[in-house]
Chains A and B, each alone.
Chain A
Amino acid sequence: MSEQQLNDELALLKSGTNRPLQIDEVALLDEFQHDQEHEGSLGMKILSILGALLATAFFLGFIFVADVYDSAVGLTMTGLILIGASYVLSRPKYAGLMADAFSVSFATCGYMLLLIGLVDPINSERGVALAGAFIAGTILVLHENRIVTFLATVTTAGSLLFLAADGWESPAVHFYVGITALLLTVWFLFEGTLLKVSALVSRRYDGIRTGLIFALIMGTYYLSDFNWWMGMERAPNWYVSVILIPLTGLVTWQLLRKFVKESATRVAYLTGTLTLLLPTVFAPAICAALLILLLSWRSGYRTGAAIAVIALVYFVSRYYYDLNLTLFTKAIILSVSGLLFLAAYRVLHQKISPQ
């Protein structure tokens, strides 16, 4: 995008307010140019994440083969130095594409080393998971790099999920999923406020958003994995639906308020949506994927919507596969719901126009 396009867009945005805005033009242009130089495509971001993970795996392999891993102090120190170096490299002063890429690799590798170094001194799984969450959380607060922010969010969430998943019968994972879903909804619905609340949050907005999507999917994946329990006592799945279904309903209501004018129609649509969501009481993963889809699509975040669709397809197939019914019953349920969806398509296609 050129500066001309930037100015056109800015003019459009400015014309939306009724008052003249006070703008720090120099700083804005500075950051824009920096972004233009260094902000890679989605594929490039994925490449740098995969590269960092692969490098970390080989480095850990090196450490184990070379027998260095006995020295907890050495590992911890190296980890801290790498994380420190990655922090310095991610500062806006130094940040360039090269520094950014190094920063991602160093942070990933340093984090793993630090954690492995802490295994012996802490000597408890829960303790290490807690330390993992704490370190990743600290990296999240310190780092501005978007990729590191994303990885740190996912890692913090992953460590907390590990802690929560400690006992099969405990409802802790349900709390984890409920809180993640709530956070994600707040993150999307209050975007305007979050962008303004502080520079710290504003610069981390995108990374945390994608990270929270993955965090929620990880939690619901755990809940949907029936095979793990194999007759063990466990907290029933509907616990978390108590949060997920009303949240999805709330987001739907928000959308209906925007697009549907008559309040009677609005209520009818909401009732219909909630009725459709009701069967997901025992399959919270499906409801969570729908929530992510609604939120992402609403705010024009296409990558999030694509992730949600993939998750939705997986969770729906998984649900039917695991369903304890005869194939005959399944076949009938599936065919009938398929025909109903096609009927909905027909109605939408003929009766309701976008205007």
Chain B
Amino acid sequence: MNKTNRRILQLLARHSDWQPEEIESALQQRVHASATDWHWLLRMLFLALGFGFLASGILFFFAYNWSEIPKLGKIVIAALGVSAPVLLSLLPNLSDLLRKSFLTTGAFLVGPLFGVLGQIYQTGANAYDLFFAWALFIIIWAIVVDFAPLWLLFVGLLNITVSLYAEQIASGWDFSFTYMLLFALNSLAVVLVHLVPRLSFRKPYPSWLAKVFALAAIGCATVACFSAIMDEGGGLAGLYTLLVAIVYGLTRWYAIKQQELFYLVAMTFSLIVIGTAIIVQIDDNSGGFFLATLWVVGTTIGSIFYLNRYRKIWSHE
């Protein structure tokens, strides 16, 4: 049985002689969470809390300065941290969700294992090496298990690797270039999340995965363009803005085709912010600020009007 939209119930409450007790009972039956809903919430909560606590417990254990344990012992414990969840996932009678959660925990604990190895053998590796190796090592894992949270971990690691590389190794990279790289990386992730299920026989990934990557990509693009424009405002800023505009244009086309309002809304805000950077770069006196105010008010209201058009068309279909 589908749930009633709360808004309709509110409308009826406002425009009829419905009594509070009757409304309450209608809410209970038509709007409030059912036993099935609660069951789902508790299951997800226990599962996420269980794995989250367990993995962070093991992580804290590695962070603890365990000087009494001999080197070999450290490695054995770290390796156990990785292999125990993997072995547990082989137990029969596990649900698919639980099995994949175990494997994700194992992939998460690969990082501490590498950390311990680096600590003992003094490989002199940079922090970015650790994250790069971690990401590289779990790539097969991610492909085989093919589980949204694990992909999130993988792409997160790649993001950290790029940021650390820019900070520690690549001295020539400026701030906005690093963010453009992250923009490219996360955009690629969005494309793959949409594309892979179509090219293979896999069922689509949960929609939050692409949205998280898209938010990261749009956030990085905004930061890159904003800082490039504010820094110099020269050709590089123009190039970055153009690249971002092209990607946004393509995304707009796809979002309209797929009727995904989310991408349109996020890109709109990004463009509003980039626009203010251009205005303030041209004139950072009172005139520029005033113009920027008008620009933000105008574009916000205009874009809401424009977005609402799509929302109305799509909701009637």
Contacts and interface: CB of A to CB of B under 8 A. Distances in A.
Contacts of A48: 300, 304
A205 interface: yes
Interface of A is mostly: helix
Contacts of A27: 14-15
Given A13-B26, A338-B54, 4 more contacts: A48-B300, A330-B60, A331-B57, A340-B50
Interface in A331-355: 331-342, 344-345, 348-349, 352-355
A55 B15 contact: no
Nearest to A17: B22
A9 interface: yes
A189 to B, nearest CB: 9
Contacts of B265: 41, 43-44, 46-47
A105 B300 contact: yes
Interface stretch (B30-38, B223-231, B232-240): B30-38
Interface string A297-334: 11111000100000001000000100000111011111
A223 B15 CA distance: 43
4 nearest interchain CB pairs? A51-B300, A338-B54, A334-B57, A338-B53
A311 to B, nearest CB: 14
B187 to A, nearest CB: 19
B293 A50 contact: no
A268 interface: no
Chain A interface size, under 10 / 10 to 19 / 20 to 34 / 35 or more:
35 or more
B297 interface: yes
A183 B11 CA distance: 24
A44 B292 contact: no
A200 B32 CA distance: 24
A13 B39 contact: no
Given A202-B13, A334-B60, A192 B20 contact: yes
Given A65-B289, A342-B47, A299 B22 contact: no
A283 to B, nearest CB: 15
Contacts of B36: 354
A163 B188 CA distance: 48
Contacts of B272: 51, 54
B54 A342 contact: yes
B275 to A, nearest CB: 11
Interface in B264-294: 265-266, 268-269, 272-273, 276, 285-286, 289-290, 292-293
A87 B32 CA distance: 34
B64 interface: yes
Interface string B36-74: 111101110011011111111111110111100000000
Interface of B: 3-39, 41-43, 46-47, 49-61, 63-66, 95, 98, 261-262, 265-266, 268-269, 272-273, 276, 285-286, 289-290, 292-293, 296-297, 299-301, 303-305, 307-308, 311-312, 315-316
A231 interface: no
Contacts of B304: 40, 44, 47-48, 97, 101
Contacts of B46: 341-342, 344-345, 348
B5 A9 contact: yes
B293 A58 contact: yes
Interface stretch (A31-39, A119-127, A148-156): A31-39
A327 B61 contact: yes
Contacts of A142: none
Given A47-B268, A105-B300, A9 B8 contact: yes
B17 A58 contact: no
B314 to A, nearest CB: 10
A335 B7 CA distance: 44
26 contacts: A16-B26, A17-B18, A22-B17, A24-B16, A40-B304, A54-B276, A58-B293, A59-B290, A62-B293, A97-B308, A98-B305, A192-B27, A196-B20, A196-B23, A205-B10, A297-B33, A313-B52, A327-B60, A328-B66, A331-B61, A338-B53, A345-B46, A348-B43, A349-B43, A353-B39, A354-B36
